[in-house]
């Protein structure tokens, strides 16, 4: 006679049977929509619960126990509400139909376990299911099964409380373990299948006889098949020319026998349009768990574009190398740390003393230290060498142009251009000829400017330069509220001197006057000019009336002391009269015309007073004060 425990063991086997059956059936249902699969899962678990109740163990007369709750729990926890409803629709009515005193408690426990599984699923909130969740589900099922037995209020069944709880927990945990692993295995298998099918390369697996066991969509389309399944069981002899198929088969057999993978084998094929296409193939032998060779896996990539890109890169490198070699300028590329990553020979040769250190891999700081050590550049600031180095290194991040003067007299222009990738391009051009031309032009311009501003006979400022200087000094002295004086000089009886001694002697006399006027001016800011004919002028910035008188008298006396003969003069030697005008600090309304007019009036007064004398006028505010000095 079969014992109750043997019946319960059989009941456990029924649970395991349905669980394992569904784990296998799930593979065939992977293409079924999720809702339909949930319905089928609920139906499967419901039938399992019914089967468990049909094989219930009679532990006491009229008292039966089974493991239906484990299937109800996994149905609601793993299948969700839809599966739970289907399982309940099968299990609860069937238990009521069976009848007996345990019908109501039995139906109730089924519903409670179902709600427990749904609650656990809700708490999980789409997180990954683990074995700990299965254990918790098993414990909950065990507790509810024990509560159901207690609800029967049959004291003689107390001895079955713990065993039934353990059996329900074991059945639930085992079912959970199977479902968790089945789901994980199915997810990995689906991922691998999707990766194989949707990979952009041509992926395939062959058995050891060269027949296709799996191909992806790309391989199927390449050979004109609607779907990958149409190629399963075929070989290269079915899709390629006999010669190519034989060559592929021989290569793959050598691969299988040699146990060595074939990595990146490249070959050129002509497609149906007559265009050449390049492919790279990698094949590896496949081994079973026991080490037996069972086939090969291969991946083929269309590398036509890569080959073209590679060729374009080679051509570009050759072109760049030619350009770097043939260009007249020096070129260097620096990275973010200031290291030279590229330079041509012209760049190194542009710097004779440091050419050996200006190579790829050298750091700019080391190069500049060598420049300082060798004295290669003339514009390195003495005493600030480290600051000079830091400024140049910082300048790599800025677009700039700089000219450097080398020890041998050459001039180099350095153009710095940062790139978007953080590198810096430096172009070196020898501008020695251009620089020399520029310096010559500057010198010529300075000479021309000097000639334009200088009186050709005396070497003093000419009238045009005098007028410009007057306007500038009038404005400056007004802003500074300081004094300013003007001397107007006229050579006494100069027409008579020319008539008596001739014009060449007159020119010599004017040069003599200019010399003594220039000699009387002691400060760099004082300016002497030939005002016109035998008239001269001197601008004395920041000079009051006393200072102007001293300058004028020093000039008058030094010229008279020469005693250059002049028979037409009252004193019988060459003399000059001087008119002085001085703007006082309190006069802020100044003009060149006014001070010239006042100085001219003073000069007229000096001549009227007997010549060879200084007569001055002080312009204070709007009042003039006159004075004389012999």
CATH topology of domain 332-435: Beta-Lactamase (3.30.450)
pLDDT band at 481 (very low <50, low <70, confident <90, very high): confident
In words, the CATH class of domain 199-307 is alpha beta
Pairing mode of beta strands 57-60, 63-65: antiparallel
pLDDT of 62 reads: 56
Question: Minimum mean pLDDT among 294-308, 353-367, 477-491, 553-567: which range?
Answer: 294-308
Mean pLDDT is highest, among 41-45, 207-211, 226-230, 501-505, for: 501-505
Integer Cα distance of 141 and 160 in angstroms: 15
Instruction: Say yes or no: do domains 4-194 and 199-307 share a fold.
Output: no
**DSSP letter at 354?**
T
pLDDT tens sequence across 525-581: 999 999 988 999 999 999 999 999 999 999 999 999 999 999 988 889 999 999 999
Overall average pLDDT of the 468-483 stretch = 90
Q: Decide if domain 4-194 falls under CATH 1.10.1760.
A: yes
Give the domain ranges of the chain. 4-194, 199-307, 332-435, 454-629
Q: What are phi and psi of 517, to 5 degrees?
A: -70, -45
Instruction: Output Rg (C-alpha) for the chain, integer angstroms.
Output: 57
Average confidence score pLDDT of the chain? 80
pLDDT tens sequence across 273-306: 667 777 778 788 887 777 777 888 787 777 777 7
Overall average pLDDT of the 157-165 stretch = 63
Architecture label for domain 454-629: 2-Layer Sandwich (3.30)
Which residues are paired to 614 by β-bridges?
578, 629
Q: Please tell me whether residue 350 adopts helix, strand or coil conformation.
A: coil
Question: In Å, how far are 14, 205, 451, 489 from 213, measured between CA atoms?
Answer: 36, 5, 100, 119
pLDDT of 25 reads: 72
DSSP state string for 80-126: -HHHHHHHHHHHHHHHHHH-STTHHHHHHHHHHHHHHHHHHHHHHTT
Question: Minimum mean pLDDT among 163-172, 187-196, 329-338: which range?
Answer: 187-196
Question: In Å, how far are 190, 353, 371, 382, 389 from 407, measured between CA atoms?
Answer: 75, 10, 11, 15, 18
Alpha helices for 425-574 (secondary structure H)? 432-453, 463-480, 494-501, 503-520, 545-562
Tell me which of 581 and 120 has the higher pLDDT: 581
pLDDT of 156 reads: 47
Residue 445 has pLDDT above 60, yes or no: no
Question: Minimum mean pLDDT among 144-153, 154-163, 363-372, 574-583: which range?
Answer: 154-163
Integer Cα distance of 311 and 308 in angstroms: 5
pLDDT of 549 reads: 94
Helices 68-79 and 131-151, packing angle to 10 deg = 140
């Amino acid at each position: 006679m079969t014992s109750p425990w043997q019946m319960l063991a059989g009941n456990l086997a029924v649970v395991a049977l349905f669980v394992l059956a569904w784990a296998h059936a799930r593979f065939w249902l992977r293409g079924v929509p999720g809702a339909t699969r949930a319905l089928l899962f609920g139906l499967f678990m419901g039938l399992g619960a019914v089967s468990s109740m049909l094989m219930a163990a009679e532990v006491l007369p009229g008292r039966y126990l089974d493991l239906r709750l484990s299937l109800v729990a996994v149905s609601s926890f793993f299948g969700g509400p839809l599966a739970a409803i289907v399982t309940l629709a099968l299990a609860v009515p069937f238990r009521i139909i069976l009848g007996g005193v345990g019908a109501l408690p039995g139906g109730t426990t089924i519903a409670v376990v179902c709600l427990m599984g749904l609650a656990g699923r809700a708490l999980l909130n789409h997180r990954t299911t683990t074995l700990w969740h299965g254990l918790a589900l098993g414990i909950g099922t065990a507790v509810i099964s024990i509560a159901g037995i207690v609800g029967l209020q049959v004291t003689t069944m107390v001895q079955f409380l713990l065993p039934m709880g353990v059996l329900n927990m074991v059945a639930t945990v085992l079912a959970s373990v199977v479902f968790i692993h089945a789901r994980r295995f199915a997810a990995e298998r689906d991922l691998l299948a999707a990766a194989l099918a949707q990979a952009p390369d041509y992926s395939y697996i062959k058995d050891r006889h060269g027949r296709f066991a799996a191909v992806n969509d790309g391989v199927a389309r390449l050979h004109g098949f609607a779907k990958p399944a149409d190629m399963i069981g075929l070989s290269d002899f079915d899709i390629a020319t006999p010669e190519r198929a034989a060559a592929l088969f021989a290569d793959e057999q050598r691969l299988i026998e040699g146990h060595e993978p074939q990595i990146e084998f490249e070959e050129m094929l002509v497609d149906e349009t007559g265009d050449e296409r390049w492919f790279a193939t990698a094949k590896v032998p496949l081994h079973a768990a026991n080490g037996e060779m069972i086939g090969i896996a291969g991946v083929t990539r269309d590398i036509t574009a890569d080959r073209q890109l590679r060729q374009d890169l080679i051509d570009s490198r050759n072109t760049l190398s030619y350009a770097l070699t043939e260009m007249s300028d020096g070129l260097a590329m620096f990275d973010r740390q200031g290291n030279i990553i590229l330079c041509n020979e012209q760049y190194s040769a542009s710097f004779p003393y440091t050419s050996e250190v200006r190579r790829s891999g050298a750091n700019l700081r080391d190069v500049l230290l060598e420049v300082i050590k060798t004295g290669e550049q003339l514009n390195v600031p003495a005493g600030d060498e480290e600051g000079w180095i830091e400024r140049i290194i910082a300048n790599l991040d800025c677009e700039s142009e700089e000219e450097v003067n080398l020890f041998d007299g050459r001039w180099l222009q350095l153009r710095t251009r940062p790139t978007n990738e953080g590198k810096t391009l430096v172009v070196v051009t020898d501008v020695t000829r251009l620089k020399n031309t520029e310096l010559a032009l500057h010198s010529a311009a300075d000479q021309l400017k000097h000639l334009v501003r200088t009186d050709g006979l005396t070497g003093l400022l000419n009238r045009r330069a005098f007028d410009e200087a007057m306007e500038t000094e009038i404005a400056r002295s007004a802003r500074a509220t300081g004094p300013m004086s003007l001397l107007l000089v006229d050579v006494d009886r100069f027409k008579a001197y020319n008539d008596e001694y001739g014009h060449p002697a007159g020119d010599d006399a004017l040069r003599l006057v200019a010399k003594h006027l220039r000699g009387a001016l002691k400060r760099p800011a004082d300016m002497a000019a030939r005002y016109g004919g035998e008239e001269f002028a001197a601008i004395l910035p920041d000079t009051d009336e006393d200072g102007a008188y001293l300058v004028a008298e020093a000039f008058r006396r030094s010229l008279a002391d020469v005693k250059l003969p002049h028979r037409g003069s009252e004193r019988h030697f060459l003399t000059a009269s001087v008119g002085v005008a001085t703007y006082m600090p309190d006069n802020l309304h100044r003009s060149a015309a006014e001070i010239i007019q006042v100085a001219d009036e003073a000069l007229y007064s000096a001549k009227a007073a007997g010549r060879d004398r200084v007569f001055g006028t002080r312009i204070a505010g709007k009042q003039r004060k006159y004075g004389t000095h012999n």
